[in-house]
Each structure stands twice: as C-alpha cells, then as structure tokens.
A and B are shown apart, each in its own frame.
Chain A
Amino acid sequence: MSNDTIAAPRSAHTPQYKRHKTGRASFEMMAWLFMRLSGVVLVVLIFGHLFVNLMLGQGIHAIDFGFVAGKWSSPFWQVWDLLMLWLAMLHGTNGVRTIINDYAERNGTRMTLKTVLYIAAAVIIVLGTLVIFTFDPCPAGAVTDLPSFCPVP
C-alpha cells in the first residue's frame, strides 16, 4: 500500500508555520487564557463575597472592624480574600491594559498610562496582601468594635 499522506515540499525556503513561538504572541495568548480562567473563578469568589458581606445577617450594617477581624481569624477567608485580590487585580489590570492599547494612539501616552497602571496595581496588590497577613484582630490599646474573642482590657 502506498502512502496516503502527501510528502512535505522539498524546497528549503518553505516558510514554517510558527504558532505562538515568539515571546510577544505567547504572552498575549496566556493573557487571553488568563482572562477567561480568572473570570470563571472570580464569579464564585465575588458572588460569595457579596452574599456573605451584604446579604446575610444585618447586611452592610454589620460591617465594622470586628466583622473583618472575625472573618480574617479564619484561614478560609484569608485565602478566599487573597485569591480574590490577586485574581481581580491581575484580571482588571490586564483588561485596562487592553483598553489603553486600544485607545491611546500616541506611543508616549500609551507608555505613560501603562506605567501608571502597573505601579498602581503593584502598590494595591502588595498593600492588600500585607494587610491580610499582618492583620491583628485585637490591636493593643484599641477598645471599640473589637471582635468578641479579644481579651477584655
């Protein structure tokens, strides 16, 4: 039986079809994929966040220092909020980067806007992460709105 497949052309100059081999293209591909994967996870994280903070109990009236302290005394909510912070910030930053690329036509404007965006995003991600992990639910000297598990002064 002979070959059913067609032999590759012999020409040495046949252009190779290269799919996302260059760094730039594969970065954009990863960014595209990340927008979709993070989106699916964010639906769960954000809807859960809104439901617990705004719908349960007294809703927004219940939110004070003690409320936050109560949540972050549990590793479950620490991880939840940390994941939500990182995914939402990276998703939002990448989304705004796309929008800047679309509308800011001058090279200088584009670069400036993206530099501001990246600095703001980095500051917020680092700040938020530090706050979640260095948080003290019973700070020394504080008296109001403490969670009930703090020792009475």
Chain B
Amino acid sequence: MWSWVGHRITGVVIFVFLLVHVLDTSLVRVSPEAYTAVIGAYKNPIMGLGEAALVAAIVFHAFNGLRIILIDFWKKGPKYQRHMLWSVLILWVVVMVPFLIRHLSIVFGGH
C-alpha cells in the first residue's frame, strides 16, 4: 500500500521537475550566457541536496516500476511481490550510497 503511495508521489514530483528541466535546457536556444547563468543555480549546495532527493525519487520509482511490471507479467510475480519490495529497497540503497558519495562530494567539494 505505501509502496503505491510512494510510486504515485515520486511519479508526480518527477513529472513536475521534467517540465521545468525541459524549460531550463531550452535556454541553450536563447544564448550560451542565459543557459550557463540558469544552470549555475543547480550547482549551489541547496540545489545539490534537491538533486539528491530527486535522484532518490527517480531511483525508487524506477525499481518499484520494474517490480510492478514483474508482478503483472511474471507468473510468480504476485507470489513474490513482498520479496521484490525488499529487493527494491536494497537496490535503492546500493545505488544511492555511491551516488550520494560522488554527487555530494562534487557539490560540496568546492571547485
């Protein structure tokens, strides 16, 4: 049940970000200065934490989405759905830990 709530919320959050992300990337068509100025905002530490949260949401939605697909199409999917939820959470940690170490050290590394 809560995995369904989580899937919904992350889906909407990613969608809203995607709308904004296409708009900011479109600034490359305005001028290099406009793009670089706005993308510069993504590089401060506060935004760095926001990006980390966003990636956490996407990684959860992606792995849980694959779990939903397996429940629907794999014969034994419904039987193992609970095990697969644990796998989703474990995979999420396995991906997020190295991601956070790398991304946060880039963001807070002070280049």
A-B contact pairs, 23 of them (CB 8 A): A39-B62, A40-B69, A43-B65, A54-B55, A58-B106, A59-B103, A59-B107, A60-B43, A60-B48, A60-B51, A64-B35, A65-B32, A92-B18, A93-B15, A95-B15, A96-B11, A99-B8, A120-B19, A124-B23, A134-B29, A142-B33, A144-B32, A145-B33
Chain B residues within 8 Å of A65, by CB:
28, 32, 35-36
A interface: dominant SS: helix
Q: Lowest 3 CB-CB distances: which A-B pairs, in order? A: A65-B32, A59-B106, A92-B15
CB distance from A25 to the nearest CB of B (A): 17
- Near A by CB (< 8 A), chain B positions 83-101 give 99
**B55 near A50: Cβ-Cβ < 8 Å:** yes
| A89 on the B face (CB < 8 A) | yes
**A47 near B32: Cβ-Cβ < 8 Å:** no
A66 to B28, CA, bound (A): 10
**B62 near A46: Cβ-Cβ < 8 Å:** yes
A69 to B31, CA, bound (A): 12
Chain A residues within 8 Å of B23, by CB:
124, 127
Chain A residues within 8 Å of B35, by CB:
64-65, 68, 145
CB distance from B19 to the nearest CB of A (A): 6
| B39 on the A face (CB < 8 A) | yes
A40 to B62, CA, bound (A): 8
| A8 on the B face (CB < 8 A) | no
Beyond contacts A54-B51, A120-B19: 20 other A-B pairs, Cβ-Cβ < 8 A, are A36-B72, A39-B68, A59-B106, A60-B43, A60-B103, A60-B106, A63-B43, A64-B35, A65-B36, A88-B18, A95-B11, A95-B15, A96-B12, A99-B11, A124-B22, A130-B29, A131-B29, A139-B32, A145-B32, A145-B35
CB distance from A138 to the nearest CB of B (A): 10
Also in contact, A92 and B11, with CB within 8 A (given A50-B58, A139-B32, A142-B31): yes
**A63 near B19: Cβ-Cβ < 8 Å:** no
